[in-house]
Chain A
Amino acid sequence: MHIPDGFISPQTYLPAYALAGVAWSWAARSLRDQLDEQTVPKLAAMTALAYGLGLVMVPMPGGTSGHALGVAMLALLFGVRLAFLSYSLVLMLQSLLFGAGGITALAINALAMGLVGSLAASLVFRALRRFGDTAAVAAAAWCSVMLPALIVALVLGLQPLIAHGADGAPLFFPFGYSIVLPAVLAPHALIGVGEAVLTLFVWRFARMRRWSLA
């Protein structure tokens, strides 16, 4: 669901960077305490997996792309802070190395997918764990896709309202909410199912290898 470069107005991405700056410093605050030689290899491997997953994407007419995130597995295995930082890094590498996403959209993409996605996964997992790990992980992964997709759609749909020329023609993203909400949310409801399967696979792998979980 990356928002590509050039579709977000400065009046959106500049405040988003300010907000993301606060969130990044919050996430990095206790980083040194959380990282040791046990955690680092697993975090690096999962970050690379999320990076690879995000590159297999399908463009959508709504102005974004459909792909698995991998943020739920990061959040469930390492916690929200590490997941947010790692996913922000994934987004930065994808945008600079492959032109997927973009520097102007980085803060919004990171806040939506990295922060809200991992928070949603973590909270839903905790709330549903009493019904069994499988259901809780699957629901957490599905929500970690749908909530960021909703935020991305809301940000995109806002663009023609706040950034247009004197003649009313859009300057950045052209579609309003009536188009962008269904165009982004409907495919992601399906992508969320794939994300749930993938996250379950990684979760079981981690349990088999007796990883300590967040």
Chain B
Amino acid sequence: MSLSMNPRRWLAAYLAAVVALTFVHQPWLLAALLALALACGSSERWRLLRRALKAVLAFNLSVSLGYLVVALWQDRFSGHYLLLVNLRVLLLVYLGFWFVGRVNLLQALAFSPTLSFLAALAVGQVAAFTRIVRDFRLAFASRNCAAIALADRARHASAQASHLFDKSICSAADTAMAMRSRGSFDD
């Protein structure tokens, strides 16, 4: 089956699964679907599950605790609801990570030239930002053995922010010129 699945079909299947899951209101069924998704997953399944758990933990904990307090206070607590919402969110996020890990997002969006064009630019810039921030952090740490004063930190942050803008605009300008040379801005 996977041989006939191109990125676009994977995207459609993923979106259909997401919509279908929001119509399921039985925790046992969601738990079974999560187990099925894990069983069908690759060797990365436990890493993806840990990632999904970490991604939803803060939000779900805050909502679940809030619900617990309010529902107990109003005497209408439902354990079914807590199980339902937490399993649903975990399964949706796991599926999202699994989809992105398996399918090239830019290829999946290729059905829309505008969307894939914007996505390519944004993904490229995100990578450039990540690299620059890491380089600055390492350079700053390597040049300061003692505790760093707040004023120095502020100067560093300001220099880093300006460089970040200029550098990323330069690198995006390179991309835009390359696209211009390939006729991207021609009608």
Contacts and interface: CB of A to CB of B under 8 A. Distances in A.
Interface of A: 4-10, 13-14, 28, 31-32, 35-37, 40-45, 47-49, 51-52, 59-63, 65, 85-86, 89-90, 93, 95-100, 102-104, 165, 167-175, 179, 201, 205
For the complex of A and B, the 6 pairs showing the least CB-CB separation, nearest first, are A99-B55, A41-B172, A48-B125, A6-B89, A169-B78, A44-B172
A35 B176 CA distance: 10
A165 B25 contact: yes
Contact of B56 (A8, A37, A99): A99
A103 B165 CA distance: 29
Interface string B33-73: 00000000000000000011001101111110111001100
Interface string B89-107: 1001100110110000100
B121 A40 contact: yes
A86 to B, nearest CB: 7
B22 A104 contact: yes
B110 interface: no
Contacts of B115: 89
Given A61-B66, A93-B126, A99 B80 contact: no
B169 A175 contact: no
A175 B122 contact: no
Interface residues of B, number: 65
B122 A86 contact: yes
Contacts, number: 165
Interface of B: 15, 18-19, 22-23, 25, 51-52, 55-56, 58-63, 65-67, 70-71, 76, 78, 80-81, 84-85, 88-89, 92-93, 96-97, 99-100, 105, 114-115, 118-119, 121-126, 128-129, 161-162, 164-165, 168-173, 175-177, 179-180, 185, 187
A48 B59 contact: no
B92 A47 contact: no
Given A6-B89, A169-B81, A52 B129 contact: yes
Contacts of A165: 25, 80
B96 A170 contact: no
Contact of A103 (B92, B168, B176): B92
A42 B169 contact: yes
30 contacts: A4-B56, A4-B60, A6-B92, A7-B63, A37-B176, A40-B121, A41-B170, A41-B171, A41-B176, A43-B121, A44-B125, A44-B175, A45-B169, A47-B118, A49-B129, A49-B164, A59-B62, A60-B62, A61-B65, A62-B66, A89-B118, A90-B122, A98-B55, A103-B92, A169-B78, A170-B81, A171-B84, A173-B63, A174-B70, A205-B165
